Amino acid sequence: MATLAANDFSSYVLTEEEIIQGQILTIAQEQVIQNLLSDCAMEKIALSYDPNNTTAFAQQEAYKRGQMDALRYILDCSLAAKEMQLFKANNPEA
């Protein structure tokens, strides 16, 4: 069972199985996150470059890229957890 870790931020000490289970998304969750990723990509493409304010454009573009990276990371973690779960099911001695 997860236990709260004592540190400056809220985090939990989890077993490997708890981590795997916690990372697996449902189909609906994957679809919603994929839609959010798509929305961010469209917003990033729609950014207008202003030669008089290159810093603002760079910040907006970096913010959108960061959002996209975070969403992709969550999807990738779910896929990896599903693959690990399948591997463990097919290789109980591992």
Is the pLDDT confidence value at 24 over 80? yes
Instruction: Please report which residue ranges of 9-94 form alpha helices under DSSP H.
Output: 16-23, 27-46, 54-90
Q: What is residue 56's predicted lDDT score, i.e. its pLDDT?
A: 96
CA triplet 21, 9, 31: central angle to 5 degrees? 40
DSSP label at 38? Answer: H
Q: What is residue 60's predicted lDDT score, i.e. its pLDDT?
A: 97
Q: What is residue 57's predicted lDDT score, i.e. its pLDDT?
A: 96
Domain boundaries, the chain: 24-90
Is the pLDDT confidence value at 94 over 80? no
Q: How many CB atoms lie within 10 A of CB 73?
A: 10
- Which residues are CB-neighbours of 68 under 8 A, at least 6 positions away? 37, 40, 41, 44
Model-level pTM? 0.86
Q: What is residue 26's predicted lDDT score, i.e. its pLDDT?
A: 98
- Mean residue pLDDT of the chain comes to 94
